[in-house]
Structure 1
Amino acid sequence: MDTAPLRGAYRALLDAAATVADSADSGDTGSGGTGPTPPAGEWNADQILAHVALINATTLTAVSAITAGVNATYDNRMALDTWTIERLITLAGGNAGLRDRIRLQADALCALGGPMLSDAELDTPVPTRLLSHDAVLVDQPLPLRDLLTGLAETELPGHTRQLLALLPNGRPVADLAEADA
């Protein structure tokens, strides 16, 4: 599997996160140091990054299980849980720690999801449950390959747009086609 699109999606997300963090450092913040203030009911930059880190951990768990020859599942509900998101922000040490974690997770996923996996492993069906805004998007087995492709094509670009929308000149978050948040 070619992981160049996944690597590129991570690079774009991390560049957007750094831009938003730099904006917060320059004083464009109203949210107590978590970056620019999002519209009511939406996530701030740290919450978006924690969500992505949790999605990455879920994906790494599925990839690791498949490479070990054991059953895997994929469920994003914990990555949507407010308490879990806030706990991860604390554990990671805030925005910079979250960006470092995501960078390392990206390296691991690109290494594991690419040349290490056989086609049979990439085609392994993984029971999957994906929610967004309290609606079920997926509740069926998906090939591992589709989970990795979904990160590159939908999840990461959606959160990149969501981060950039937090900038003073960004578009409102509600105008974006986000994967989930």
Structure 2
Amino acid sequence: MQVRFEGFPEEKIMDTTTLRGAYRALLDAAAMVAGADDLTVAAGEWNAEQILAHVSIVNAVTIAAAGTVSSGANTTYDNRMALDAWTIDRVIAAGGGNAGLRDRIRAQGEALCALAEHALSETELDTAVPTLLLSAGTVLVDQLVPLRDLIAGLADVELPGHTAQLLALLPDTTPAPVPA
């Protein structure tokens, strides 16, 4: 059911088609993994719930940055909490495992898309946000990044990367070659 608020603009400020598709692909992959047996988790890698909790935290940080920018206040963007094992475990417990985390991510994606499409102005989307992004202990970004690029980065890098990570957990179902 779509809820329409009176006066809610029909025109989109930011096109979120790619972001919505990235969320859909991630959620489809998470559902496939949830229904699979014999998942393969390499030593030192995250399981499906840890991946989903990480994505949920990244979403929350992104929504918080967007909300802070829309309030006229200064903000920063820092993904270190999304890499913290204790925080990830806490989000898994609060989220209710794979199914609950999928529901949370779906709702967060809708909220972020609504903000980007209808609530944030072009000026707000162009706001430079001091950004620190780490992955596996390596600094990937330590500079000012426009809010719109942080949102687009979810669609272009973050969500597709974690979709691939989820799919890599599935057992290899390729049949062995038949000897000639």
**TM-score grouping bracket, smaller chain normalisation:** 0.7 to 0.9
C-alpha separation in 1, matches of 2:159 and 2:173: 17
Contact 1:51 1:79 survives alignment (8 Å): yes
Greater relative CO (CA pairs within 8 A, separation 6+): 2
Decide whether aligned partners of structure 1 residues 169 and 59 sit closer, same or farther in structure 2, where only a CA change above 3 A counts. Answer: same
Alignment match, 2:171: 168
Are 2:76 and 1:73 equivalent residues in the alignment? yes
Where structure 1 has 5 or more consecutive residues not aligned to the other structure, the ranges are 30-35, 172-181
Q: Which amino acid in structure 2 is aligned with residue 74 of structure 1? A: Y
TM value normalised by structure 1: 0.87
Aligned 8 A contact 1:122 1:143 in 2: yes
**CA-based RMSD:** 1.2
The Cα offsets for residues 50-69 of structure 1, whole Å up to 9 and x where unpaired, read as: 00000000000000001111
Gaps of 5+ in 2: 1-13, 175-180
Q: Where do 1:1-12 residues align within 5 Å? A: 1-12=14-25
Identify which of 117, 120, 140 aligns with 1:117. Answer: 120
Q: CA deviation at 1:134?
A: 0.2
Larger radius of gyration: 2
Matched, 1:95 2:108: no
Cα gap change, 1:41 to 1:106, in 2 (>3 Å):
same
In structure 2, which of residues 124, 138, 144 is the aligned counterpart of residue 141 of structure 1? 144
Query: Equivalent residue of 1:129, what SS?
Result: strand
Rounded Cα–Cα distance in structure 1 between residues aligned with 2:140 and 2:59: 18
Runs ≥4 in structure 1, deviation > 3 angstroms? none
2:132 aligns to what SS in structure 1?
Answer: strand
Deviation of 1:152 (Å): 0.2
The number of equivalent residue pairs is 161
Maintained 8 Å contact 1:164/1:170: no
State the secondary structure of the residue aligned to 1:137: strand
> Partner letter of residue 83 of structure 1?
W
Give 1:115 deviation, angstroms. 2.4
The Cα of 1:170 is off from its aligned counterpart by 7.6
CA distance in 1 between partners of 2:89 and 2:111 (Å): 24
CA distance in 1, matches of 2:62, 2:135: 17
Paired AA for residue 75 in structure 1 = D
